[in-house]
Amino acid sequence: MIAQAVSQSGVDKFVNALGSGVALGAIYALLALGFVIIFKATQVVNFAHGAIAALGAYLVSYFAVTINIPGRWMTFAPDWLQWSLSALVAVLLTAVVGMIVERITIRPMIGEPLFAIAMITLGLDLIIRTTTNDLLDNTNAGLGDPFGLEVLTFGALRLDAAQIATIGVTIVVVLLLMWFFRTRTGVAVRATAFDQEAAMAQGISVGKVFAIAWGIGAALAALGGIFSSVGSRGAAGVSPFTALIAFRAFPAIIIGGLDSIAGAVAGGMIVGVLEVMAGTYLGGISWLGTGFSGIVPWLVMMAVLLVKPYGLFGTEEIRRV
């Protein structure tokens, strides 16, 4: 069998890299949004974000594949609906885990040095990651998703169903967050983020706001974990490597601004596109060495910080760990 080299025109190559980059950027944006919401409301740098993402992906595998809930009670429904409901259950459960973690380990630390709280989240990362890996038997597990690996073609653009779903879900999430921050609870979160003491003086339950922020943050992390474990990017499903994707999203968080929702989305897109573009166009340049595409987002992050120390959309009064 003689395979034929894939030949793409310059435009096709660029369009496909852009599309793939936007899809990857959407995963980063979901992760960054969760991270930023937790930071914005609680001032906590959550190093356990990747572990929570992997836990969310594992829970989808558990509900959709292992015990088939709620699919076992609704066999009349199409597969995609059964899977979506399993994913929803997993995301909600991950949100509950986030709220429990906040209540037990973070809230007692209110008023304590931020460095100490960051260290607690590092410990949480290890605990949640190890537990998830144990549940996975330290191997990979498919999520039973309906996306498959088939490529859909839109003119020059080639994307798989998982990539399209990732972009679509990210858009929906951003719209929901925009709506949420205009609700009464959302305003309370924003007020707490702006000034905790003033918010408390106005009768806002800061503890409740913390719980909501951790719940939303964990749910968004789960979405990021799920979409990094489907399609070709997650062809083996969720694995002990899934948690690492959160570290790749860090430049997105910093580039956008640690406390900016819009910045999280912009940063995610910038990093996703940069990574894929670098992999596509710089891979053949031997003197750049191995793994240069992974460095590019960090180089851009450093360049942005040199010009705008609080990121593209960040506010200047942030305390950084």
Partner 1 sequence: MVFVLALVATACSTDDGGATTTVAPTTTTTAAPAPKEIKTGRGVDAATKTIKLGLLADLTGLFAPLVIDITDAQKVYWDNVNAAGGVDGWTVELVIEDTNYNLEQHQEKYENLREQVVAISQSTGSPTNVATLPKYVEDDMLVLPLSWFSGWPFADFDSGVMIEQNTNYCLEAMNLVDFAQSMGGTTINVVGFPGDYGQDAAAGAKWAIDFYDGVELGYDGEAKVIPGQDYTEVIQGIATSGADWTILTTNPSIGATILAGAVQAGYAGRFTGSGPSYNFALLDSPAAGLYDARYYQSAYNVLWGDDTPGNNVMMAAMQAAYPDRRPSDSFIIGWNESIVMHEVIKGALAAFDLTPESFVAVSNSLADVDFGGSQPNQSWTGTPNDFVQRGLAMYEPDLAVYTAAGGAAQTLSQADATTGSVLVQDFFVGAAAAAYDFVGPCYEL
Q: Which two tokens stand for residue 251?
A: 């430049």
Q: How far is the CB of 36 from partner 1 (least distance, A)?
A: 22
142 binds partner 1 (CB under 8 A): yes
∠ CA 144-145-148 to the nearest 5 degrees? Answer: 110
Q: Are 53 and 222 within 8 A, CB to CB?
A: yes
**Is residue 166 part of the contact set for partner 1 (CB under 8 A)?**
no
Least distance from C-beta 304 to partner 1, angstroms? 19
Q: Does 282 sit near partner 1 (CB under 8 A)?
A: yes
Q: Judged by CB under 8 A, which stretch of 40-48, 86-94, 196-204, 225-233 contacts partner 1?
A: 225-233
Task: Write the CB contacts of 9 (distance below 8 Å, at least 6 apart in sequence).
Answer: 156
- Residue numbers 245-274 binding partner 1 by CB under 8 A: 245, 247-248
- For the bound state, the minimum distance from the C-beta of residue 76 to partner 1, rounded and expressed in Å, comes to 24
Please give the C-alpha separations between residue 50 and each of 57, 143, 190, 242, in angstroms, as whole numbers: 11, 17, 24, 8
**Rounded to an integer, what distance in angstroms lies between the CA atom of residue 244 and that of residue 275?**
15
Please pick, from the candidates 294, 299, 309, 320, the single residue that binds partner 1 as defined by CB under 8 A: 294
Q: Which of 160, 249, 258, 263 binds partner 1 (CB under 8 A)?
A: 160
Question: Nearest CA to 321 among 125, 127, 123, 117?
Answer: 117
Tokens of 188: 């309370």
Interacting residues with partner 1 (CB under 8 A): 1-7, 17, 20, 24, 65, 130, 133-134, 137-143, 145, 147-149, 151, 158, 160, 230-237, 239-241, 244-245, 247-248, 275-276, 278-280, 282-284, 290-291, 293-294
